[in-house]
Amino acid sequence: MTSRTPSLRTPLLWALRGYTHTPLRGRTRVTDFLHPRLCPSGSPFEVTIDIGGLPFQLDLGERMQTRMFYGFYEPNEVAFVRRTLRSGQVFIDAGANIGYYTAVAAAAVGATGEVHAFEPVPWLHDRLRGFEQRANSAGFHVCANRQALGDEESQKTLWTSNGGNIGWSTIVPGLMDAAEVRETVTVQCVRMDDYFAGQEMRPADMVKIDVEGAELSVLEGMTGLFEAGVRPILLCEVTSRTLPEVSTMLSRFGYERFRCAPGGKLKPLPEPMAFPLATLAFIPSARSHE
């Protein structure tokens, strides 16, 4: 069972994926052992999965996309999005990467909803744009923006990683070690307040923020919406460094913070946060007890 058996590789991968979607124990260990023997890291192997009726392309030679294929990528948070979003709602994906959350949200909000995704890294935006075209041709409403969200309209430098994780890039100076930098890219930043005003959009119902240390900047670019009474549910990646400032800011606008548990259910966040990096749900207090 090696990568030199191409005629068997495809059915074996799909069989392994089927196994990961069962309740059997040890699924992660078995998959972590078998998958590299079928798809060595760095050896592209493209497959298409179905996300709520939408085709979504993955490269199983890349670790993060492999986890998406097997359902191991942020499963509690993805379940929360599916559990919470409703048909016809508006979803914002800040730091969309190749568009996995964009696809999950598009399937959830349906043809009467909207998904606005932001990804400034050129090659990732190309992937996101491909999904946008496929989704819109099927009657959905997805908008892929090659911009970063922030606290001002400006041009900024973005550093991308030369490591195996294609999702690791940041506009925060000094956050990425110089030895890890793949290249720098000049990107356009826009405030979410301005984007909403320019698009004359319906208010957002949920915003997912995964921007590698710049989450407070994105939130500061939403203060006009908050002050106007718009209170979307927020799914935000934070670090132990950024959590205090993010929590303080959002508490001013009546948000409470939670962690996502299996099945997409919400649980209180323990003090202190158990991990140096986590994706948390910030819920307006009026909704947190629903």
pLDDT of residue 1: 38
| Single pTM value for the model | 0.92
Which strands form 148-149's sheet, in the order they lie side by side?
Answer: 148-149, 181-190, 154-161, 169-170
Look at residues 21, 42, 45, 46 and name the one whose alpha carbon lies nearest to residue 31.
Answer: 21
Question: Cα(126)–Cα(117) distance, rounded to whole angstroms?
Answer: 12
pLDDT of residue 241: 86
Band the pLDDT of 2: cuts 50, 70, 90: very low
Helix axes of 63-70 and 27-38: crossing angle, nearest 10 degrees: 130
Instruction: Tell me the pLDDT tens digit for each residue of 174-222.
Output: 778 888 888 888 999 999 999 988 777 788 999 999 998 899 999 999 9
Instruction: Tell me the pLDDT tens digit for each residue of 231-270.
Output: 999 999 998 889 999 999 999 999 999 999 999 999 998 7
Cα separations (Å) of 87 from 13, 91, 104, 241?
32, 11, 12, 36
**With contact defined as beta carbons under 8 Å apart, do 92 and 208 qualify?**
yes
- Percentage of residues of the chain with pLDDT beyond 70: 94
Helices (H), the chain: 6-20, 27-38, 63-70, 75-84, 100-109, 122-137, 192-199, 215-220, 223-227, 243-252, 285-288
pLDDT of residue 30: 93
